[in-house]
Amino acid sequence: MEIEFDTVARWTTDAVAELGPDHAIPAACRGSASPAGLDRLCRDLRPGMRLGDVGGGTGGPAAYAREQAGVVPVVVDPMPGACRAAARMFGMDAVVGGGERVPLATGSLDACWCLGVLCTLDDNDKARLVRELRRVLAPGGPLGLLVFTADEPRPAGAPDGNRFPTLGRVRELLTDHGFVVDDEVAPDDLPPAPPSWRERADRVDDLLARRHGDDPRFAEAEEQSGRLGALMSDGVVRGHLLRAR
Ligand SMILES: C[S@@+](CC[C@H](N)C(=O)[O-])C[C@H]1O[C@@H](n2cnc3c(N)ncnc32)[C@H](O)[C@@H]1O
């Protein structure tokens, strides 16, 4: 995971610096919701709200929320390279830390997102993460979650470091920690990213391949994300976008 979320984050920042700042958000939404999914989560946001994005990676979703909804975001991610990328690409507050112990004060966020992160934690840490999301969020504040689920934690071909929860377990974790889910949709049922978004993401990917295609770390990161893609297209791993309070 370090290569995928740390080394590639650094390479992505350099690619965006070369291609232009309009490439930053599509390039930095790594495997997260599409613009349509992020728009859905943005329905709960208002200008000036403090949004925390836990496991926020290189900051693409948080930057999108700032642009579309006028929130004041902070990214929390355990990968220093991802936090540096968020700070450099978006001038965003980014704090190195894990979801098991979020380095933010209790009740300090008006809203919180956690996109594509739960499946990267082991089972005990999943519960700790949800408890932490509850702790840092002001009472009644909205939570946006993107979760990838499967019928078993490690289906054949699962990417390293992933343990997929069932959807039932996700719902149970949320209920146990006082969240009420009020919206749930499969990202696949939402409109795809517009062509201009995909073209910008592809240009960044092409540049990364040209610059780093011979680097074994590039091949490793591609292999890991390809594994997730294959499981998703086979329907073994499924995405769910949830809004809760
Ligand atoms: C699939 S990426 C998603 C990144 C970002 N949320 C997005 O949607 O673009 C998963 C992220 O989870 C982060 N992560 C891994 N372990 C974590 C942990 N224990 N706590 C919080 N985040 C973690 C990774 O560093 C990575 O940035």
Domain locations in the chain?
Answer: 2-244
Residue 4 has pLDDT above 90, yes or no: no
Over residues 197-202, the mean pLDDT reads 95
Ligand 1 binding pocket includes 89 (Cβ within 6 Å): no
Ligand 1, residue 79: give the atom nearest the CA. Answer: 25
Distance CA 174, CA 195 (A): 35
Q: Please, how many CA atoms are within 13 Å of residue 112, restricted to the half-sphere of its CB? A: 29
Residue 31 has pLDDT above 70, yes or no: no
pLDDT at 107: 98
pLDDT at 2: 79
Residue 112 has pLDDT above 70, yes or no: yes
Residue 32 has pLDDT above 90, yes or no: no
Q: Which of 117, 147, 163 to mutate to test the pocket of ligand 1 (most atoms within 8 A of CB)?
A: 117
Residue 46 has pLDDT above 90, yes or no: yes
Is residue 68 within 8 A of residue 42, CB to CB? The reply is yes
Q: Which of 120, 132, 224 to mutate to test the pocket of ligand 1 (most atoms within 8 A of CB)?
A: 120
pLDDT at 158: 96
Ligand 1, residue 55: give the atom nearest the CA. Answer: 22
Ligand 1 binding pocket includes 60 (Cβ within 6 Å): yes
Over residues 165-169, the mean pLDDT reads 97
Q: Whose CA is nearest to atom 15 of ligand 1?
A: 120
pLDDT tens string 56-94 = 999 999 999 999 999 999 999 999 999 999 999 999 999
Ligand 1, residue 146: give the atom nearest the CA. Answer: 8
Ligand 1 binding pocket includes 57 (Cβ within 6 Å): yes
Which has the closest alpha carbon to 99: 143, 68, 153, 65?
A: 143
Ligand 1 binding pocket includes 224 (Cβ within 6 Å): no
Helix axes 123-136, 167-176, angle to 10 degrees: 40
Ligand 1 binding pocket includes 150 (Cβ within 6 Å): no
Q: Please, how many CA atoms are within 13 Å of residue 218, restricted to the half-sphere of its CB? A: 14
Over residues 94-102, the mean pLDDT reads 97
What mean pLDDT is reported for the chain?
95
Residue 104 has pLDDT above 80, yes or no: yes
CATH class label, 2-244: alpha beta
pLDDT tens string 172-185 = 999 999 999 999 99
Residue 105 has pLDDT above 80, yes or no: yes
**d(CA 77, ligand 1 centre) in Å:** 6
pLDDT tens string 123-139 = 899 999 999 999 999 99
Residue 140 has pLDDT above 90, yes or no: yes
Which has the closest alpha carbon to 99: 84, 115, 88, 86?
A: 115
Least confident of 3-17, 65-79, 131-145, 149-163: 3-17
Q: What percent of the chain has pLDDT over 90?
A: 93
H-assigned helices in the chain: 2, 8-19, 24-28, 35-42, 60-69, 80-90, 123-136, 167-176, 195-212, 216-233
| Confidence band, pLDDT 50/70/90 cuts, at residue 111 | very high
Residue 18 has pLDDT above 90, yes or no: yes
Distance CA 241, CA 229 (A): 17
| Confidence band, pLDDT 50/70/90 cuts, at residue 30 | confident
| Confidence band, pLDDT 50/70/90 cuts, at residue 187 | very high
